[in-house]
Structures are given as structure tokens and as C-alpha cells.
Amino acid sequence: MAAILGTWTSALMVNDGAVFLMAGWFDNSWDLYFSQNADRWLATYATYGPAWVARHLLGVSARAYIVVAHISYFAAPFVLWLVLRRVETQRLFSQLYLAIVLPLLYFPTELIFGLGLWAIWLALLCDPTRSDRQAAIVTVVFAVLLTFVHPSIGLMSLVYLVVGALLGSLGRPVPRRTLIGASALAVVLLASYFIMGYLLKATNPTVIAAFAINRYAYIDPSWMLATMALFPALAAQWLLLIAPGTQAARLRWRIAPLAVTIVAALGVVSATLGTGLLTSTYARHTAAYILALATVLALVAPKDWLAPARRALLGYAVVAATAIASYNADLVFFGRLVDRYTAPGLIDIDDPAKGWPPSTNENAGPRTYLKWFAGADYTRDVVVPIYDWHRLALAFYSYFRSDRRTVLYHRLDRSGDWIPFPCLVVARTLAESDDPQDRQFLAFLGQKYCIP
């Protein structure tokens, strides 16, 4: 459902995914953008590589490229889930991974790929038929792979280690070699974060500024709590994911079955009324730790976990499906608005004469928690202020949606605007391009959307 709806509405084209797919459309994708995110190259190329192959080797059309790119993106976690099903001896890893992916799915974070690799690594270590030597080799291999995925996996491993050790001290042990492996993984990945940060530094000042703003988002408890206050459906989903583990591990403070039902019901209401562009964006800041916590609790008594997990994961699935439907409904409204602009060429929608609804901070509270009741005109009062927040993405979204005929763009003249493409690389790509529509778009990038 999530993949079909997300492909239909081009869900990746309203956020950072628009930059990834735009860079991949041209031959110089590494120099255009991905060199700025070099320490995550493995997740990037594993996720988007098939679409780039289809574009440059098979010569697919623009519309086909966007469809293939979405299919490739959504296929990555599915393939990881299939691998988990194949290697796990207790059917909890695949269920927890599939669950944690759903709230993340509409923001193109490398964490989705990283969480899958981490879950596969842990499932392999929990297999009692594997020797300690095999477990050590597996840990070394996955440490190398995860070095080039996402730095928060190191912190996630540390959370697993600390909670697992605490449970062991309370007489509720988890497999000992998973704690040894988690300690090794945490050390290697945290060290590699600093090493890679030094060796593979970004050079684009707007990218550096964006990294600086988000530098503490994964370690600031007050921010993490704020993300769940902004989107209560996330808090509901995280509680539902942890709930069966609190029962299986026989914790003093357990989330009872009745509480699970109540949390799920409240989560559905919040998902209906409050899902927006930033829901998946903010989910990434806590998702890794929630998966680590849910997994370590489940491993105390995997067989006892399965029964309470049925109710909790069913409620979780309903909340997630509601959020997915709510999000894609908004994108349908957004796409219809863009489709009103049919004139070919460049359209500066910051010009009031063009009739694009102005972005506003008014009614921010109602839009966040009661979006369906936040204005007389839903597209103008809710959809545009929420989904046009990523000002850069609209130009790329409209370019592909119109089959490369029309570009709706904002002026990137605000402090803090993200401008990912270097002018020198844009100029080189323009000189190498023969397609007239691409040349026109690259000329636009060179004039208005590149960094000197």
C-alpha cells in the first residue's frame, strides 16, 4: 500500500528525494550532489542505483525514471525484509524491521537501509547454530558495511548494549554474544563517524549549514520528545512497538493489553488529523533507538513476545496505514495545484501575479494537529504551507510532473536556503548535455539554483 500510493503521488519529490532523483537524472550525479554525502554512499547507491542504471543504460523517459526510482527506493527495504525472513531463527526481527520502516518510508533517509543491515546482523548473531568465530566474522563484515550508511547506527548499538546489560543485571538476560557484538559495533561505528567526517568533509556551505543544524537531532532528548509532541502518532507507534517487549521481559512497568488498544485508537486519530511532510523527517531522529529498545526487550523471551506482539503490531499497522493514506491524500491535492500551471517554461511563483498560495505561519497549530479543519480552502490553507516548506523541491517536482515542460520555482533568497548543486558542475553538465529540455533546465539551475 505504502509503495503503490507513494509511487503514484511521487512522494519522494517533495523533500530531499527530489534532489537525489534530480542529480541522478544527469550523468554527473556524484559531483552534482552525492560527493557532499560521501560517507553514506553505500545506502545511496543500493537504494537509487537501479533507477540510475535504467536512466543511463536503458534511456527511459522522465516519467518512467521517476516511477522506476520510486520502485527501486521502496524495493530496498522489502529486499532487506526478505533477507531477514531467510536468516532469522526467531520471527521477531523481520516484524520489527517492517514496522519501524513504515513511519520512515516517505523521507529518503539512509537509516532505512542501515536499520535493515543492523537487524540482519543481529539475527545472524542470535542464531545458535553459528559459532562464535562466525559471529565475529559477521560483525566485522557488517561493521564495514554500516560505516558507509548512517552514523546513528553506532548510537543505536550503544543503546542496545546498555539496555541489554541492564536487563541482564535484573535477571533477564539477552544472548551474551549480541552484547559483545554490539559493543564492538558501537566502538567501530562511532570512531568511523569522526574519521569519515574528517576525511570526507562536505564542501558546499549550504550543505555544511544543514548538517550543523541537524547535528544534535539524534542525541538531544528534548528535541526527540518535541518530535513526538508535534506528531503524537509517532509516540503512539513507538509505544506500540515497545509494548510487547515490556510484557515478554516481565518488567515491573508493563504496557497492558487495554493500554495497547487505547494507544492504537489515539494513534489513528492523530495519524488522520496530523500527518504531514515532517512526520517521516522527524521520525528518523528516534526510530533507531526505538528499534534497539524493542528488539532487546523482545530477545529476553522471544517465544513469549509473539503473543502480545500480535495485538500491538496490528494496532501499529492500522496507525501506519492511516498515516500513509492521510499523507498521500495531501499529495493528491498538491499535485492538482501544480497541474494548474500548464504554460511551458519557467514560472516564478513568488510573483503574486502567478496566483500561487503564499506560505504562511498562521494557524500552524491547527494545521499540525487538526489539519482537516484548519482552513476554508484545504489546498491553500493546509497543503501548501505544509508541503511547500521544502522550497527547493518544487522546481524538480514540477519539472518531472509536467514531463519536463514546466518549472515552478521559488526564489532561493532566504537565509538558510539549501542550494545543493555547485555552479561549476552544473555548467559542465550543461556543456555535456544534448537534450534541449535538460539544457534549458540546467541553464535555469546555473542561473538561479546553484552555489558558486
Residue 186 has pLDDT above 90, yes or no: yes
Over residues 250-258, mean pLDDT? 87
Q: What is the DSSP string of 413-426?
A: -STT----EEHHHH
Position 133 scores a pLDDT of 93
Banded model confidence at residue 278, pLDDT cuts 50, 70, 90: confident
In this prediction, residues 236-240 reach a mean pLDDT of 96
Is it the case that residue 213 has pLDDT exceeding 90?
A: no
Q: What whole-number distance in Å separates Cα of residue 389 and Cα of residue 65?
A: 25
- Average pLDDT, stretch 114-121? 96
DSSP-based three-state secondary structure for 444? helix
Over 80: is that where the pLDDT of 272 sits?
yes
Between 211 and 172, the higher pLDDT residue = 172
**pLDDT interval class at 40 (50, 70, 90):** confident
Domain residues of the chain, as ranges? Answer: 2-330, 341-366+377-451
Give the residue from 93, 103, 100, 188 showing the smallest Cα distance to 149: 188
Band of the pLDDT at 129, cuts 50, 70, 90?
very high
Mean per-residue pLDDT, 215-224: 88
**In this predicted model, what pLDDT tens digit does every residue of 396-448 receive, in sequence order?**
999 999 999 999 999 988 877 888 999 999 999 999 988 999 999 999 999 99
Band (pLDDT 50/70/90 cuts) for residue 60 is confident
Instruction: Determine the average pLDDT of the residues in 92-104.
Output: 96
Mean pLDDT of 318-336: 95
What is residue 121's predicted lDDT score, i.e. its pLDDT?
A: 96
Average pLDDT across the chain, whole number? 91
Q: How far apart are CA 290 and CA 309, in angstroms?
A: 15
Report the percent of the chain where pLDDT is more than 70. Answer: 100
Whether the pLDDT of residue 27 is over 90: the answer is no
Could you tell me the sign of the dihedral formed by the alpha carbons of 230, 19, 36, 422, in that order?
negative
* Residue range 316-333: mean pLDDT, rounded: 95
pLDDT band for position 78 (50/70/90)? very high
Question: By the 8 A CB rule, do 47 and 113 touch?
Answer: yes
Residue 294: other Cβ atoms inside 10 A = 26
Confidence of residue 42 (pLDDT cuts 50, 70, 90): confident
Taking residues 69-98, report their average pLDDT: 94
For position 143, what pLDDT does the model report?
93
- Residue 161, pLDDT score: 96
Q: What's this model's pTM, rounded to 2 decimal places? A: 0.93
77 CA to centre of own chain: 11
The pLDDT assigned to 31 comes to 86
Mean of the pLDDT values across residues 139-162? 93
Residue 244: pLDDT over 80: yes
pLDDT greater than 80 at residue 362: no
Percentage, residues of the chain above pLDDT 90: 63
Query: For residue 434, how many other CB atoms are within 10 A of its CB?
Result: 6
Lowest mean pLDDT, pick from 214-218, 317-321, 398-402, 435-439: 214-218
Helices 62-87 + 111-125 axis angle, to 10 = 20
- For residues 194, 198, 204 and 208, what is the CA-based torsion angle, rounded to 10 degrees? 30
pLDDT at 34: 86
Q: What is the pLDDT of residue 32?
A: 87
